[in-house]
Amino acid sequence: MSPVTIFGLCGAMVAGLGLYGLLVDPRPLRKLLSFNLLGSGSFVIFGVIARRGAGAGFGGDPIPQALLITAIVVSFAATALAVALILRLFEATGGVTLRPDGGTDAAAAAPDA
Amino acid sequence: MNGATAFAFGIAALVAAVAAFTVAARATFAATIGFTAYGLLLSLIWVGLAAVDVALAEAAIGGGLTGVLLLGTATRLQPIDAAAERPGPALRGLAAVLSAAVAAGLAAAVLSLPDPAPTLAPAAAEHLTATGVGNPVTAVLMAYRATDTLLEKVVLVLALAGVWSLARDDMWGARPGPRYRADPKGALAFLARLLPPVGIVVGVFILWVSADEPGGAFQGATIIAAMWQLSVMAGLADEPALGRGWLRLLLTIGPLTFLAVGLGGLWLGAAFLAYPPAFAKPLILVIEFAMLATVAATLALLMAGPPQRRSDP
């Protein structure tokens, strides 16, 4: 089993772990962390595909590598937006929950703006 | 099992273990630290996959910036961290089965990748000299798929607009984030005086060297954004008010330059974003330096959050 395949299997496992965390933990920030894990696991699999496309004197196929750089930057932007949403929900309601009725976290604070 | 395989197995096992810790940790703060460590270890996997530009991006943006952003958020949410009810064992079992099935499917896909692998490397190499750069990843980002990079920058600005739109109505155009204060004689202030000049030079260098060596505009911009964040957190600088004209100009100069070059290519040349062969390298450099300024400002402001205060409290 070559190192590249081992990295690919690692990426598959991290993606599975991320999916489990996304489904199971009720806290939105933990879901965000797990979602990032799911994303970066799939990036590793794409990186394995890039590595296997080595040729013409390059160590890997450069097109997937460039797409991966774009993907990492865009996923950071999405994470920053998600964090801003979570913090705004916390400021507005005093708790962070995805339950429609507000759950046990909703405090008496009324939403502003 | 030779050395390379053993090393790969070791790194892969470590990364999977840290990812498992991130998912399983009870305290969110510990999970966030695990996630930052995961990002940094993942860079080693990228180097092992011969993708050094991606390794730089992962270490800087995936590990560094995302980690700092999530650490700050975890700290602010710490009071309510424990007040959450986990789903019952039946639901958790079902989720585990589903996740295992997805992981198994991905692993099967990895193990059954076609051999010989399809690749675009020869096509990329064929026209590399015409683009004027030696690093094929830079050529892809700035020449072959320049439209993707243009749209990526627009996505960054859109995300920033989304973050700003979460401000309270009366705070539009105000300063983002809290006013940090640190001991002026302490270690943080010392580092914030020492590192930024070095960091700015390193960031610009990583951009400059990306023409022929691994590097890139995004990676360099992240380092510069991190230097700004360090200065702000040590209290040596304050975030600007978001309504300022020069800030808005800084945030849009990158996409506008890119768009101008693209439209110039449409008007004077063959197609949108077509570079005339003699001017390919200078045009790419102009776009990249404008990009550096915009992306550094955008990343720094994404970390700062929505505007929330008018002046020093």
Report the gap between the CA of A93 and the closest CA in chain B (Å): 12
pLDDT at position B312 = 56
List residues bridging with A93 in a β-sheet.
Answer: none
Q: Say which of A1, A40, A78 has its CB closest to residue B42.
A: A40
List CB contacts of B198: < 8 A, sequence separation 6 or more. none
CB contact under 8 A, A53 and B42: no
**CA-to-CA distance for B65 and B296, rounded, in angstroms?**
12
Name the pLDDT band for B219 (thresholds 50, 70, 90).
very high
Closest CA to A72 of B250, B55, B110, B284: B55
Does position A103 have pLDDT exceeding 60, yes or no? no
Does position A25 have pLDDT exceeding 50, yes or no? yes
Query: What mean pLDDT comes out for the span B176-189?
Result: 90
A-to-B residue pairs, Cβ atoms closer than 8 angstroms? 298
- Alpha carbon distance, N-terminus to C-terminus of chain A: 58
CB contact under 8 A, B91 and A37: no
Q: B184 in helix, strand or coil?
A: coil
Report the gap between the CA of B137 and the closest CA in chain A (Å): 5
| B1-10, B55-64, B249-258, B268-277: least confidently modelled range | B268-277
Does position A6 have pLDDT exceeding 50, yes or no? yes
By the CB < 8 Å criterion, does B6 face chain A? no
Does position A110 have pLDDT exceeding 60, yes or no? no
CB B162 within 8 A of CB A81: yes
- Encoded tokens for A67: 């797409």
Query: What mean pLDDT comes out for the span B290-310?
Result: 94
pTM of the model: 0.92
Q: Say which of B46, B170, B306 has its CB closest to residue A47.
A: B46
pLDDT at position A109 = 38
**CA-to-CA distance for B300 and B228, rounded, in angstroms?**
7
CB contacts of B218 in chain A (<8 Å) are 69, 73
CA dihedral A97, A103, A107, A109 (to 10 degrees): 70
| A31-40, A52-61, B136-145, B188-197: least confidently modelled range | A52-61
Query: What mean pLDDT comes out for the span B108-136?
Result: 90
CB contacts of B156 in chain A (<8 Å) are 73-74, 77
Does position B115 have pLDDT exceeding 90, yes or no? no
